[in-house]
Amino acid sequence: MSDHDPRPPASLVTVTLNPALDVSTSVEVVVPDHKLRCERATREPGGGGVNVARVASRLGVSVRAVVVAGGASGEQVIDLAAGEGLPMTPIRVAGETRQSLSVTERSSGRQYRFVLPGPSVGAEVVDAVGVALDADPSIGCVVFSGSLPPGLAAEALVALVGSVIAAPVIVDTSGPALQHALGTAATVIKPSARELAAVVGRQLLTETDVLTAAEEVLDSSSVGALLVSIGAGGAFLLRSDEPTVRLRPPTVQVASAVGAGDSMVGGLATGLCQGQDLLSAAKLGIAAGSAAVMTPGSGLCTASVVEELLPLVTVGSPTLVT
């Protein structure tokens, strides 16, 4: 960052290679072959790293979101983020940033989610992201979150993670990108149980199955830790040099699961930026994820609810799994 840049250094920098314009609405009943009259839609800046930055900002961390954006949807993402006071470094590309549509069926409470593909990008984006990361010499934490856009090989994520030298790195992705990220020296990777099943190539029907698979993956990886989310059951935290623990969230009223994973990563990143140890940061992540499911639509967690829930997160031995 130059001496003339008025922005303070960011404690947290998030990278979103495939952001989204999140559109959410509701309808009384979802039926085929009919026009469905929806409620007025809300639009929010979205994609993994964008949401992580939004959460961390709410929790008091200085943040900057690096996003690959294109077209009118990309400009809406940038404008909406600016409206929230979220500092953003856009890397503009040809094509149109994807849209994600969430429709809640009011009669049942079920939620339907439709995600369009993002624009195809080239390897030049990797260089541009690297330059953006170099702009903050005293980053407290870097988060790579979300899917890869079409045209970008999974090896690109490996190069980006490897370019971060002095800060903890969190990776939250899926598919081939997740497979490749496990070969990096990332501080912590946060797969869901479903994403973990894809890595090991088998169904994980019980929590014991999840834990066994996570141990296999960590043992064969180069990363420091795994935080494996298991939905309403919380998460397993596996570290290469510490005993594995089970984190259990408090029981809350669920309004929407959208944004829970990003809120968890946002809480985790906040804790690391604040100098907490990994277990304490993971507890903050669980509280943030629990707070997110209490909000309707694509709403994220709020700081006051996270503060209320944090003391209710419990830590125990994974041997208690049945």
Closest alpha carbon to 105 in 46, 30, 159, 158: 30
Sign of the Cα torsion 287, 13, 57, 45 reads negative
Side chain identity, residue 247: L
Residue 248 tokens, joined: 């259990």
Active-site residue, selected from the candidate residues 22, 136, 172, 262: 262
C-alpha to C-alpha distance for 59 and 186, rounded to whole angstroms: 23
The yes-or-no answer on residue 262 being catalytic is: yes
Question: For residue 148, what are the CA distances in angstroms to 38, 151, 157, 176?
Answer: 31, 8, 8, 9
What residues contact residue 66 under an 8 Å CB cut-off, 6+ apart? Answer: 13, 14, 15, 16, 49, 88, 89, 91, 129, 132, 133
Closest alpha carbon to 263 in 284, 239, 240, 241: 284
Residue 209 tokens, joined: 């199955």
C-alpha to C-alpha distance for 261 and 317, rounded to whole angstroms: 22
> Cβ–Cβ contacts within 10 Å for residue 277, how many?
10
C-alpha to C-alpha distance for 96 and 150, rounded to whole angstroms: 12
What residues contact residue 35 under an 8 Å CB cut-off, 6+ apart? Answer: none
Alpha helices in 32-70 (DSSP H): 48-58
Q: Which residue numbers are catalytic?
A: 262
